[in-house]
Amino acid sequence: MTQASADRHVVIVGASLAGTRAAEGLRNLGHTGRITLIGAESELPYDRPPLSKDLLTSDWSDESVESFRLATKASLEGAGIELELGVAAAGLDVAKRSVILADGTIISYDLVVIATGAAARPSPWRPGTGVYQLRTLEDSRAIAARLKLGEPVVVVGGGFIGTEIAAAAVGFGCDVTVVDPVSEPMARIVGPEIARSLVELHHRHGAQTRFGVGVADIQGKDGELTVILDDGTRLETSTAVVGIGSIASTEWLASSGLTLDNGVVTDGFLRAVGVDDVYAIGDVARWPHPGRGVQVRAEHWTNASDQARYVATAITQGVDEPYDSTDYVWSHQYDWKVHTIGWRHPGGSSTIVGDLAKGGKTAVIHSDANGDVCGAVTVNWPRGLNLARRLFASGESAETIVEKLGQLA
């Protein structure tokens, strides 16, 4: 792959983890040309995992918020990274190599990196007040203020984000109910064995779950909401938090001519299909996963960071091999730490090592339909996680990984 000359102007759209790390990476790898970082929010770049974890239970002091910044204004300006914050990108003209901002500003580029991430899938239920969604720092601040009231909360969506919010709400003494139309909403990520244990964990802490039934409507206002389920059940609550997935932030690219299909579709080198001077990274990119053999849009912190590093290297030095993902995700709920590597194949099999009920730690090793290892999940087992990651990366068989984890247990 041909590397770009060091003096080209690189415009990065999205002051996300991926965007910020790409900008820093370019400079660290010797790029001497202009770098412009565009962000829709007026906030300096910040880390998103703490939004559903640390910040929901913090005091929201200036110190706690600043500790999750990805960079300071001084560090970015010191690296010669030009900031355009508080104005979203509204269009991309590939032919003229320019980004159009919502205020009409036009920024020309030699290379553009799209890192606009994803937005929370809009709630279908929109009473005047009382329904919240989590994606931004301001969202987290607003939800935290509601949780601190200690009043009833209904969380719609039983994935990692929803259950992390539920755990935070329980910590404030809220009466919590988690609703999801899927009977085991976390099974897709961690497998049914761990999914059941996580549900039991929430039950032990006092949260209630209504899985296998959807939401028909949400009515009322802050403090006086009614969540109506498909089976006619009416849940009276003070606050509702809706976490029903996300959608790639590509609406600003509608007229760009890029191939958009659940994200910006890229080749294996993370270049927009058919356009060599446009890259996409992070939650917005849909790229060919070499392990799965399909296009994937991965909303993983590690993936965003890795793709940023990869593209910075591609631009400054050139790369010979297509991007390959580490597929690493984590979730903290109450005092449990859940970590996943790779993925769970729906037609494969899983082997359990350890017993949460007895030893307080466990691992599940996933194999695909051919019997090849494709993923692992660990719960409350840092040493098991580290060993599984090493063995997974070195290409060991599922049998070997299970055996060595068993020796460590």
Closest by CA to 3, choosing from 110, 103, 107, is 110
Q: Tell me, yes or no, whether 25 and 84 share the same domain.
A: yes
CATH number for the domain harbouring residue 344: 3.30.390.30
Structural domain contains residue 256:
yes
Structural domain contains residue 330:
no
Q: Tell me, yes or no, whether 377 and 298 share the same domain.
A: no
Q: Tell me, yes or no, whether 140 and 159 share the same domain.
A: yes
Residue 365 has pLDDT above 60, yes or no: yes
Residues 263-285: what's their mean pLDDT?
Answer: 97
Q: Tell me, yes or no, whether 171 and 108 share the same domain.
A: no
Residue 63 has pLDDT above 50, yes or no: yes
Confidence at 69, pLDDT banded by 50, 70, 90: very high
Q: Tell me, yes or no, whether 240 and 251 share the same domain.
A: no
278-293 pLDDT, tens digit per residue, is 999 999 999 999 888 8
Structural domain contains residue 62:
no
Q: Tell me, yes or no, whether 230 and 139 share the same domain.
A: yes
Structural domain contains residue 61:
no
Question: With the C-alpha atoms ordered 117, 120, 122, 127, is the resulting torsion angle positive or negative?
Answer: negative
Structural domain contains residue 60:
no
Structural domain contains residue 350:
yes
Structural domain contains residue 324:
no
Residue 2 has pLDDT above 50, yes or no: no
Tell me the Cα Rg of the chain.
Answer: 22
Q: Tell me, yes or no, whether 160 and 235 share the same domain.
A: yes
Residue 127 has pLDDT above 80, yes or no: yes
Q: Tell me, yes or no, whether 240 and 129 share the same domain.
A: yes
Q: Tell me, yes or no, whether 114 and 135 share the same domain.
A: no
Q: Tell me, yes or no, whether 115 and 252 share the same domain.
A: yes
Residue 203 has pLDDT above 90, yes or no: yes
Q: Tell me, yes or no, whether 115 and 134 share the same domain.
A: no
CATH number for the domain harbouring residue 255: 3.50.50.60
Confidence at 347, pLDDT banded by 50, 70, 90: confident
Give, in degrees to the nearest 5, the angle at Cα 119 between 113 and 123: 165
Q: Look at residues 212, 244, 276 and tell me which one is the last residue of a structural domain.
A: 244
Range(s) of the domain holding residue 76: 10-49+69-119+247-316
Q: Look at residues 244, 276, 292 and tell me which one is the last residue of a structural domain.
A: 244
Provide the domain count of the chain.
Answer: 3
Structural domain contains residue 373:
yes
| Contact of 146 with 132, CB cutoff 8 Å | yes
The values of phi and psi at residue 5, to 5°, are: -70, 150
